[in-house]
């Protein structure tokens, strides 16, 4: 793949009350981190000792030196003393066997003995008592048997033979060793997935843009590139396994499901018509290569739309982010590259573009193009396409490979504090972390293997972004803001947090009571997800206000029909295409994901 293209496009990072959600890249090109697990070993340092065998004595007298040790055997027999180590004799001449009685060999015929020969064998001793058996061999056999027994007692083999990555963090190194672990049978539906073997990753090959600019966040006097590492020690947070219903909670993305869930959770004919108009607008703005761009001055729009992305904003706006957002809007309404329909080819071309533009590095597939925002959003689109088209053991193998390799890159790119930054390995913030977490959860449900510590570390990181257990989350400090709180609440729900814990419920109440923002669609999108998944009591009030407002504000005339734009700092960075995709996804909330916490038994956890 061509990894040399400079970043040309990306998504803004809008956030309310001084918190940005723009797609910006860090100015520092470093930060790749790598992780190592080196195997050790032991050696047997035992060397060779030489011995000299003295001359033997017969029954009638001594021969040679009178101080020579005596044997206990009949005349003419050569042997090693009982208390000596048995050795292999290095013969220059064979031992004498025909000496006259009373005669011993010449003193000069002494023999050198070396190596590890066995002592004299006694038929009365069993195998383990035989002194000819080296002690090291006995120890090896015994310990090997014990290790095998312990392994059999402690290893729980998944009945499906599923495999996964395991990595540990430590001092920086140039390689990572992955080991096999068991995964939940509910997470992987295919027994024929190839097992992942030990691989070596050269993290120096992770693509980092030559010039990655990070804008100053609203209300902040310093850019992210100048902020020191937080050096946080995350608290231990229990990881509750989430079981998303059906196809990762995407099972209602069908015409019948849209009607059923829309009626149940608050869609109207007008809101559904708005979704269809938005999809038509997005399809009309797909480029010839299958991509989408935030820059509407390019073909096919050629500047006909007002409010393209903000020029010279200093924020990277990756084409992968634009393409991923547009695909998510189509997928959210049930359109895939396998299902016949008006947008089947549109989705297929978008997926093919992401496949063709992936930068293949040893850590996996990289869709940054200037920002980890681009990577996370592209991976989220691909994992949703995989989950929606997978039928038991039937799945798109090429798509699974894309998702697996993209997820592997995401895991390696995570900072040691559990967050993701604008570039791999750098400390990040809640907004970038949000796209990575949701895409990885979906990837895992689709059959991809993750590092075992990735999601637990992300959950721990989120808890460092709020004061105590207030669940009022900040951007990259515990100073809370509404938009980052909406993101944090959504992520915590997907990571297993119960919405019924009092502090968590109070934060949800506060978000709902504030009502939708008139111009910050990033806030409205995440807040809608949090309130929908928790089945908050104020959902109907929130939904009616936001739904009717979006229907009213949608453009209905001329070339821009079906689109939205709100004059808001970070919405201006992404422009009309960014805002339109997020508005469409917000109006799809009723059926895009089945709620994690339903008010009846129709959605068992």
Say which residue, 358 or 211, is predicted with more confidence.
358
Preceding peptide of 182 cis, ω within 30°: no
- pLDDT mean over 115-141: 58
Say which residue, 85 or 345, is predicted with more confidence.
345
Nearest to 267 by CA among 594, 596, 586, 15: 586
Q: Give the tens place of pLDDT for each residue, 377-433.
A: 999 999 999 999 988 888 899 999 999 999 999 999 999 999 999 999 999 999 999
118 C-beta neighbours (distance < 10 Å), count: 15
Confidence of residue 206 (pLDDT cuts 50, 70, 90): very low
Domain ranges of the chain: 203-222+248-592
Looking at 74-88, 183-197, 521-535, which range is the least confident one? 183-197
- Return the pLDDT at 232: 28
Asked if 224 contacts 429 with a C-beta cutoff of 8 angstroms, the reply is: yes
Confidence of residue 502 (pLDDT cuts 50, 70, 90): very high
Q: For residue 592, is pLDDT > 90?
A: yes
- Return the pLDDT at 133: 60
Say which residue, 97 or 282, is predicted with more confidence.
282
Confidence of residue 218 (pLDDT cuts 50, 70, 90): very low
φ, ψ of residue 111 to 5 degrees: the values are: -115, 145
- pLDDT mean over 507-527: 97
Q: For residue 290, is pLDDT > 90?
A: yes
- pLDDT mean over 282-288: 98
- Return the pLDDT at 604: 40
Report the percent of the chain where pLDDT is more than 70: 60
Which residues, in sequence order, are CB contacts of 506 under 8 Å at separation 6+?
Answer: 471
Nearest to 330 by CA among 359, 292, 298: 292
Predicted TM-score (pTM) above 0.75: no
Preceding peptide of 300 cis, ω within 30°: yes
- Return the pLDDT at 152: 74
Confidence of residue 138 (pLDDT cuts 50, 70, 90): confident
Identify any residues that bridge with 113 across adjacent strands, giving them in sequence order.
Answer: 51, 89
CATH topology of domain 203-222+248-592: Glycosyltransferase (1.50.10)
Q: For residue 36, is pLDDT > 50?
A: no
Q: For residue 214, is pLDDT > 90?
A: no
Task: Calculate the average pLDDT of the chain.
Answer: 73
- Return the pLDDT at 472: 97
- Return the pLDDT at 127: 55
Looking at 159-163, 212-216, 366-370, 551-555, which range is the least confident one? 212-216
- pLDDT mean over 326-346: 96
């Amino acid at each position: 793949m061509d990894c040399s293209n400079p970043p040309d496009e990306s998504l803004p990072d809008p956030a309310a009350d001084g918190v940005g959600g723009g797609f910006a890249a860090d100015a520092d090109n470093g930060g790749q981190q790598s992780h190592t697990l080196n195997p050790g070993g032991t050696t047997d340092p035992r060397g060779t000792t030489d011995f000299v065998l003295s001359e033997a004595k017969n029954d009638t007298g001594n021969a040679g030196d009178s101080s020579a040790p005596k044997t206990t055997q009949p005349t003419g027999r050569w042997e090693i003393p009982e208390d000596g180590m048995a050795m292999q004799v290095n013969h220059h001449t064979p031992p004498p066997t025909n000496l006259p009685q009373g005669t011993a060999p010449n003193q000069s015929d002494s023999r050198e003995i070396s190596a590890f020969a066995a002592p004299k064998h006694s038929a009365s001793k069993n195998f383990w008592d035989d002194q000819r058996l080296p002690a090291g061999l006995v120890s090896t056999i015994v310990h090997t048997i014990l290790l095998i027994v312990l392994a059999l007692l402690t290893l729980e083999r998944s009945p499906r033979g599923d495999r996964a990555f395991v990595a540990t963090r430590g001092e920086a190194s140039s390689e990572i060793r992955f080991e096999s672990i068991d995964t939940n049978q509910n997470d992987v539906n295919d027994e024929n997935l190839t097992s992942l073997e030990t691989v070596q990753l050269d993290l120096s090959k992770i693509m980092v843009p030559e010039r990655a600019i990070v804008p100053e966040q609203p209300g902040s006097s310093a850019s992210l590139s100048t902020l020191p590492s937080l050096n946080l020690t995350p608290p231990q947070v229990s990881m509750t396994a989430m079981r998303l219903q059906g196809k990762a909670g995407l099972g209602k993305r069908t015409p019948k499901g849209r009607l059923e869930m829309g009626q149940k959770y608050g869609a109207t004919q007008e809101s559904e018509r708005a979704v269809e108009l938005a999809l038509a607008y997005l399809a009309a703005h797909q480029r010839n290569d299958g991509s989408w761009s935030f820059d509407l001055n390019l073909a096919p729009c050629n500047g006909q739309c007002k409010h393209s992305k903000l020029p010279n904003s200093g924020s990277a706006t990756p084409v992968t982010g634009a393409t991923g957002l547009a695909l998510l809007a189509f997928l959210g309404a049930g359109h895939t590259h396998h299902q016949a329909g008006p947008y089947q080819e549109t989705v297929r071309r978008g997926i093919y573009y992401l496949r063709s533009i992936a930068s293949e590095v040893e850590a996996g597939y990289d869709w940054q193009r200037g920002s980890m925002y681009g990577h996370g959003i592209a991976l989220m689109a691909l994992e949703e396409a995989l989950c929606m088209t997978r039928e038991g053991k039937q799945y798109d193998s090429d798509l699974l490979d894309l998702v697996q390799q993209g997820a592997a890159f995401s895991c390696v790119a995570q900072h040691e504090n559990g967050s993701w930054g604008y570039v791999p390995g750098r400390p990040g913030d809640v907004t970038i972390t949000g796209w990575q977490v949701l895409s990885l959860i979906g990837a895992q449900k689709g059959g991809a293997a993750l590092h075992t510590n990735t999601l637990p570390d992300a959950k721990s990181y989120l808890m460092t972004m709020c004061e105590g257990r207030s669940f009022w989350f900040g951007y990259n400090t515990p100073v809370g803001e509404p938009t980052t709180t909406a993101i944090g609440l959504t992520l915590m729900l997907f990571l297993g947090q119960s919405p019924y814990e009092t502090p968590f419920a109070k934060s949800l109440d506060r978000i709902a009571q504030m009502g939708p923002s008139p111009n910050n669609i990033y806030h409205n999108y995440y807040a809608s997800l949090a309130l929908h998944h928790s089945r908050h009591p104020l959902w109907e009030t929130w939904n009616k206000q936001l739904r009717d407002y979006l229907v009213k504000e949608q453009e209905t005339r001329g070339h821009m029909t079906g689109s939205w734009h709100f004059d808001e700092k970070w919405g201006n960075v992404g422009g009309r295409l960014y805002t339109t995709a997020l508005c469409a996804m917000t109006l799809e909330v009723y059926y895009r994901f089945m709620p994690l916490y339903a008010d009846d038994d129709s959605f068992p956890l």
